[in-house]
Amino acid sequence: MSTRQGPPKHQNKVAWKPHAGQKINETEVGGKFRPYSDITGVCARCKDQIDWKRRYGKYKPLSEPAKCQRCSKRAVRQAYHNLCTSCAKEHGVCAKCCCKTDKIVGRDITEVEAERKAVEDALKHARERDRRTLLRAMSKGSSEPKESEGSKIIDRSREGELFPAKSIDEYVAQAVENNIRDQQDSLICN
């Protein structure tokens, strides 16, 4: 063990890249066409650990589901997790380190599916103009105008007229309410 304190004597000029000289097959898991799944159900510390493994080429994805340590079912689908998503959510713990955590990183697959279904339902019942506006906003993401685009004038005076909601979630809620109201009106008229 060295007794030297402080930063290393020689700093690296270039960041280390795993598998730098090897050709990468884009069709394998972790490649360009099949990226790793999102890290979900873990605390922030465990997420950072798994992220580090991915960045530095140490990450080994699961080839088949692993056994959950609580329910003993083969339901663990993410690498380095010890608990299945249902057990982790039920007990309110991190799926990797099994400690009680208030804030869990990432969303569950069922939550993502429910949100996607709600958005599709809202799109189905929306006007064509609103539908296209929403699809444009979703494909663009929440990207803000850059400083280089300062020469363009952004007119936001008619923003409420074109797209009545401030977020996609608010728009979905409005569309569902309007749909329910329309169904009730049609029942009353009949």
Mean pLDDT of the chain: 80
Query: pLDDT digit string (tens) for 83-127?
Result: 998 899 899 999 999 999 888 887 777 777 888 888 888 888 888
Mean pLDDT of 40-49: 93
pLDDT at residue 100, rounded to an integer: 93
Picking from 129, 127, 114, the residue whose alpha carbon sits closest to that of residue 169 is: 114
93 exposure class (CB count in 10 Å sphere: 0-12, 13-18, 19+): buried
pLDDT at 5 over 50: yes
Residues 143, 154: contact at Cβ < 8 Å?
Answer: no
- Condensed to tens digits (0 to 9), the pLDDT of residues 144-180 reads 444 444 444 455 555 555 556 666 677 777 777 777 7
Report the percentage of the chain scoring pLDDT > 90.
Answer: 26
Structure tokens that stand for 168 in this block: 């996609």
pLDDT of residue 161: 55
Average pLDDT over residues 73-82: 94
Q: Give the whole-angstrom CA distance, residue 34 versus residue 81.
A: 20
Q: Rounded distance, CA 80 to CA 61, Å?
A: 8
CA distance 96 to 42: 6
Which of 113, 119, 121 has the alpha carbon at shortest distance from 40? 113
pTM for this prediction = 0.56
Q: What is the pLDDT of residue 156?
A: 52
- pLDDT of 186 strictly over 90: no
CA pair distance 181, 82, nearest whole angstrom: 46
How many angstroms separate the CA atoms of 42 and 53, rounded? Answer: 15
pLDDT reading at 42 higher than 80: yes
At which residue do the structure tokens 């270039």 appear?
A: 14
